[in-house]
Amino acid sequence: MQFMLLLLFWCSFVVVNSQDTNTVEVNFECPNPCPWRFTGFILIPNTSCKSYAQCRNGNPIGEFQCFGNYIFAESKGGCDFASDGESECQPVPCPVPPTQSPTESPTISESPSNTVSPTAPEPPRPTPFPTPVFFSFLSFVESRRQSIEATVLQSAGGPSTAYTMEGLMSALDIVVNQFPSDKTFYVGENGEFAGLRYGVANFAAFLSQAMSEGIRMDSCDEWNTDYIFQDNTEKFPLSNACGQYKRAYDLEICKSTEPFECPIDRDMEVTAVDYNQNFMPGKTGPPALSCKPYDGSSFSGFYDLFDDVIVESAYSNSLGRTNVAGCCWWKRGALMTGGRCAFGKLNKYVGKEAADSRGIYVYPDIDFCSNPEAICDHIRTHELRWLIGFLDWSGRVETYVDAITGWSYMDEL
């Protein structure tokens, strides 16, 4: 239901606005905004710097539009935020097709090998951006900022403090422009305005899932919620840090084609920064999830709801764990993503391993395998919370194909 409301709300906006930007022939004063032989991105005249075309050898092959306070910036080859000094858009004339002056009579060269055919100078080409539709997508999302903050970034207790618009926009930029090309979050198709609608629909689906996961809880860390009813009370095993509801986060690995899961370190000590502080009136509730070494006698115990105390005796979770050694991979972020594979991939793509092995310096100081809690306590946590969710979505949802029916998420989108 959340997804359908978001989808109708945003896609109706795109459809209405696409009436003026659906094809490259919409500007009747300038049927072809592309200069002769030009390849790149160029402003479409008389659009208040809001529309720009993608050209190939002087022919328009796509049109994009900037929304909100964004305008076309030639230096970027796409949309950029308009500062006060750039708010006024200078008029741009339509390109003039090259003309050739007729000669009175044919001219025959005596020595063709010594002549040079005249060529018209080619306009300077702006540096192509790898995903031009991203600029349109980003400006569209920014134009819906108030709606997103009012309808999406709302937890069960009011406006979310754990998930912000600034963090969302920053994470979008990273996952689209810094991740490997086959791991990026899908924001639409290049070359056609209709492609933006596909990206918006995918984004709406992602946000609807985030609303029911991290945003609803207003928490970056997973809470201890999997209890065992025994002796007329609910008992919450502290070993739920190892996995809840029959999952074992430390035992889950990546596909054989992507063996990027973090190694298990049973000497790690990590404590979640978030837990349910409004568990129940008069009750403190289960403590934050944590992991620590096991010395042979330090059992993790359980939280007793009836007595509102932590009992430090051996008590297993749903899979039989009675200690939390190496169990530092609980769920985190917008989609509550957990397991060694997710954190290993994040480290491989943009973390310390990416910096050391491939020279990708997005988070060169963060080793997500030795400190997975950086998602929630690093200085850049507000973008990391979204980023691991985008990684999860692009890896599990966008690539989903049913093995029996062949149903594909991307085809359906």
Average pLDDT over residues 121-145: 66
Share the mean pLDDT of the chain.
83
Q: Are residues 305 and 342 in the same domain?
A: no
pLDDT per position as a tens digit, 273-298: 999 999 999 999 999 999 999 988 78
The total domain count for the chain is 3
Do residues 383 and 170 touch, judged by C-beta distance below 8 A?
A: yes
Q: Are residues 253 and 206 in the same domain?
A: no
Do residues 370 and 351 touch, judged by C-beta distance below 8 A?
A: no
CA 352 to chain centre: 19
**Among 16, 48, 81, residue at a domain's last position:** 81
Q: What pLDDT score does 37 carry?
A: 72
CA 107 to chain centre: 62
Average pLDDT over residues 159-176: 96
In a domain, 148, yes or no: yes
Residue numbers of the domain that contains 194: 122-220+332-412
Average pLDDT over residues 123-144: 67
Q: What pLDDT score does 2 carry?
A: 58
Q: What pLDDT score does 52 carry?
A: 82
**Among 283, 302, 330, residue at a domain's last position:** 330
Q: How many Å apart are CA 85 and CA 49, to the nearest integer?
A: 14
Q: What pLDDT score does 91 carry?
A: 67
pLDDT level of residue 66 (50, 70, 90 thresholds):
confident
Do residues 185 and 138 touch, judged by C-beta distance below 8 A?
A: no
Cβ neighbours for 216, distance < 8 A, ≥ 6 positions apart? 155, 156
Q: What pLDDT score does 192 carry?
A: 60
Q: Are residues 318 and 337 in the same domain?
A: no
In a domain, 151, yes or no: yes
In a domain, 113, yes or no: no
Q: What is the DSSP string of 135-165?
A: HHHHHHHHHTHHHHHHHTSEETTEE-SSS-H
Q: What pLDDT score does 222 carry?
A: 98
> pTM for the complete prediction?
0.74
**Among 285, 305, 330, residue at a domain's last position:** 330
Q: How many Å apart are CA 391 and CA 354, to the nearest integer?
A: 15
pLDDT per position as a tens digit, 289-327: 999 999 887 889 999 999 999 999 999 999 999 999 999
Residue 68: name the closest of 177, 147, 2 by CA.
147
Q: Are residues 215 and 245 in the same domain?
A: no
Q: Are residues 201 and 294 in the same domain?
A: no
In a domain, 248, yes or no: yes
In a domain, 153, yes or no: yes
Q: Is the pLDDT of residue 129 over 70?
A: no
Q: Are residues 263 and 363 in the same domain?
A: no
Q: Is the dihedral of CA 245, 246, 248, 253 positive or negative?
A: negative
Q: Are residues 248 and 323 in the same domain?
A: yes
Q: What pLDDT score does 12 carry?
A: 46
Q: How many Å apart are CA 195 and CA 104, to the nearest integer?
A: 51
In a domain, 3, yes or no: no
